Amino acid sequence: MLDLVQVFVETLNRCFKNVCELDIVFNFNKLHTVLDEMILGGQVIETSSEQIMKSVEEIARFLLPSAFNCHIIYSRACAIS
């Protein structure tokens, strides 16, 4: 279980370039996609960060950028604060 958490955090770091709490809050869709690629029906199906990232990037190509990447909202929120 501890290894799974480690892989999850490493993958999030790859996704967000040094993940922080705001990345998780404003990009929960991407976070759930990463988790969905790792776990299916309570079973661990993938533990390779590289393979998970490939799958997430492939999914992102098929989705609208605004629906998947909330970094625009995140950038605006940071600029306001």
Per-residue pLDDT at 76 exceeds 50: no
CATH number for 38: 3.30.450.60
pLDDT band at 69 (very low <50, low <70, confident <90, very high): low
Separation of alpha carbons 20 and 10, rounded Å: 12
Label the pairing between strands 43-44 and 39-40: antiparallel
> Could you tell me the pTM of the whole model?
0.70
Separation of alpha carbons 5 and 48, rounded Å: 12
Per residue in 18-61, pLDDT (tens digit) is: 888 998 898 888 899 999 999 998 899 999 999 999 998 888 88
Could you tell me the residue range of the domain that residue 7 belongs to? 2-80
Q: Quote the number of domains for the chain.
A: 1
Instruction: Kindly give the residue spans of alpha helices, DSSP state H, lying in 17-48.
Output: 21-26, 28-38
Per-residue pLDDT at 3 exceeds 60: yes
For residue 3, count CB atoms less than 10 angstroms from its CB and return exposed for 0-12, middle for 13-18, buried for 19 or more: exposed
**CA-based angle 21:68:77, to the nearest 5?**
45
Better pLDDT: 62 or 78: 62
